[in-house]
Chains A and B, each alone.
Chain A
Amino acid sequence: MNWLSRLLPSVRSKDQKKDIPEGIWSKCENCQSILYRADLDKNEHVCPKCGFHMYLSARSRLLDFLDKSSTAEIAAQVTPVDVLKFRDRKKYKDRLHDAQKITHEKDALVVFEGALKKMPVVACAFEYKFIGGSMGAVVGEKFVQAVNAALAKRLPLICFSASGGARMQEALISLFQMAKTSAALARFSEAGLPYISVLTNPTMGGVSASLATLGDIIIAEPKALIGFSGPRVIEQTIRQTLPEGFQRSEFLLEHGAIDLIVDRRAMRSKVAGLIAKLMNCAVPTDPELQEGEDAVRQS
């Protein structure tokens, strides 16, 4: 599960950004356009030039997605522990510390209970900049707590995934989070509640092969890399170059793996509409003016 192969380009692009004054300007990873940061924020980090869906932090994604001032964080106190005292070229403890400093998150999953166009929901999102959004014990536990919170109040569950896969530094414990989260979803499914899984760039390995592909409805953002094995591993195994667009959202839609591809800027309305139908609710209405939301986003 090569979460790092996905992490590497982002590390590289960070280096490239060094020649851009920080905070004001940003660069599109896809078309390389220099973008005014405020414009990008207003556009939910979708490149205004080429439509590429850029990285978005877990917390801003959820705050953008849910109704304003409706949110309460769930399981915020769960923190990672280096049970195995894992050490490669760097101590896992130090990697955790660095990731916490960069992201201001305790681990790679953020969970909120809130409202989506006035409908109460539980929503969670992966923080990709936290060790490649990898799933260890904390991500597994927080996801289960999200499921349980939704189960207790009979709410729909939404998950935005962005992950390289299982977290190697937690060894077998991380592998077993796949079983743990899938089992929780089996129980959730038995309760007849909708689970919407939104796949964002990238969703690979152990996360793809568990909670991310178990949605009643599976949505992907455009051109997201989604798959089980990393492209490099496949290339090395079959000794062939991979076809254009392999493992991208459009490829998955073509092969029947996902229900639909939705632009990030339309996600809120689309998911609200789907959930309202699955829960047999009236057509949802937005509690806020669009301008109001934008103002909050920029702040």
Chain B
Amino acid sequence: MVLQCLDFEQPIAELEEKINELRSLHATHGMNIDEEIKKLEVQSKELTRSIFSNLKPFQVVQLARHPQRPYILDYIPRMFSDFDELHGDRHTSKGASIIGGIARLDEIPVMVIGHQKGRKTNEKIERNFGMGRPEDYWKALRLMEMAEKFHLPILTFIDTAGAYPGIEAEERNQSEAIARNLFSMSTLKTPIICSIIGEGGSGGALALGVGDRLLMLQYSIYSVISPEGCASILWKNAGKASEAAEALGVTANRIKKLGLIDEVVEEPLGGAHRNYDEIAARLKQTISKHLVELLKLPAEKLVQERYARLMSYGLRDDS
């Protein structure tokens, strides 16, 4: 897979290109330039480290939307075994923009649910670019209620630009579909761990995001509105998306500081898309750690603590 570079990664890309050139020289002409290559590799790592240690919020937005960023279907085979995908809302649709199914996290059977944006054009269309319609959320709720019935912990993977804005979606009551998930997830008597793996876009993300733990990957984002949308409304200029991203505070670290999430999962150098195995292993380890804690709680206490957590949103220390 050839890495696609974002604009701010250009200096790294140039250096990497140089390294590749030297490598091919080395291969074709047998020139001994090992040392030179090694030096440049160290330099490239340093450069990556320095660029990534100082990312602007909107650069993180770009990383969260990176076309090669791992999606739920990339995580499932790396984190779980024995995954059986389950389909359908039972009434109207297969619900393809949200994946769901039962798998094992090591030995523990779990319900896995999450948005899938789609990688190639065909898949993107089939998945509706990961933008859920009411039937996708109905399907997700059906699976979550089944999980409660069979005492399966629920693991959600959030990655969506938002719930789909369309005529049919409104006709089928998009609002109620989202609201119903928030309502029901707050009382499900089984552990729920939600992980933002890419874009946490507004209500469409929150509809899979009510739980006992909320995790974010380091370069994922979570926001009430897209930076572009916010800019066009408040600045009257969609070009001010970078300022909006800054003001909204969409990055994992900023949100962690506000106490709205439990943990930030660090990504490999240069972002999750550079090493799927590594990010999957890290996320799995973090989820497992939290799940062990949650499985110790009796169902009633679990739901009580979830409720207290939800009620604490927006409350200030001084109030």
Contact = CB atoms under 8 A, between A and B. Distances in A.
Interface of A: 1-2, 4-5, 78, 81, 83-84, 86-89, 136-138, 140-141, 144, 166-168, 170-180, 182-187, 189-190, 205-206, 208-214, 226-230, 233-234, 237-238, 240, 242-243, 246-247, 252, 255-257
B225 interface: yes
Contacts of A247: 170
Contacts of B244: 88
B195 to A, nearest CB: 16
A183 B175 contact: no
Q: Which 8 A-B residue pairings sit nearest by Cβ, starting from the closest?
A: A137-B314, A229-B165, A183-B186, A182-B182, A88-B234, A176-B313, A228-B174, A208-B175
Given A141-B315, A183-B183, A209-B179, A172 B167 contact: no
Contacts of B223: 171-172, 175
Contacts of B306: 183
Given A144-B311, A168-B248, A172-B260, A228 B235 contact: no
A237 B311 CA distance: 35
Interface bracket on B? 35 or more
A110 to B, nearest CB: 18
Interface string B174-209: 111011101110110000000000000011001001
Contacts of B310: 176, 179-180, 183
Contact of A242 (B167, B174, B260, B314): B167
Nearest to A207: B175
A257 B186 contact: no
Contacts of B163: 209, 228-229
Contacts of B224: 1, 166-168, 170-172, 174-175, 206
A189 B183 CA distance: 10
Interface in B205-262: 206, 209-210, 222-225, 229-230, 233-236, 243-244, 247-250, 255, 258, 260
B178 A183 contact: no
B26 to A, nearest CB: 50
Given A182-B183, A234-B170, A172 B311 contact: no
Nearest to A173: B314
Contacts of A138: 314
Contacts of B164: 237
B166 A237 contact: yes
10 contacts: A5-B233, A84-B258, A168-B224, A168-B234, A170-B224, A172-B250, A174-B224, A178-B182, A182-B179, A212-B175
B170 A172 contact: no
A255 B234 contact: no
A213 B173 contact: yes
Majority secondary structure, A binding face: helix
A206 B306 CA distance: 21
Nearest to B211: A179
Given A178-B203, A186-B186, A210-B182, A229 B311 contact: no
A166 B260 CA distance: 17
The binding surface of chain B is classed by DSSP as helix
A186 B183 contact: yes
Given A178-B182, A178-B203, A183-B183, A229 B170 contact: yes
Contacts of B142: none
Interface in B137-171: 163-167, 169-171
A158 B68 CA distance: 48
B316 interface: yes
A258 B189 CA distance: 29
Contact of B165 (A144, A226, A237): A237
A255 B173 contact: yes
A179 to B, nearest CB: 5
Contacts of A234: 165-167, 170
Contacts of A233: 165, 229
B203 A180 contact: no
A168 B311 contact: no
Interface in B302-319: 306-307, 310-311, 313-316, 319
B210 A183 contact: yes
A177 B170 contact: no
Interface centre among B183, B247, B249 (most CB of A within 10 A): B183
Contact of B203 (A140, A141, A173, A209): A209
B49 interface: no
Contacts of B56: none
> Which of A81, A171, A230 gathers most chain B CB within 10 Å?
A171
Contacts of A255: 171-173
A190 B186 contact: no
B176 A213 contact: yes
Given A182-B186, A206-B203, A4 B233 contact: yes
B248 A171 contact: yes
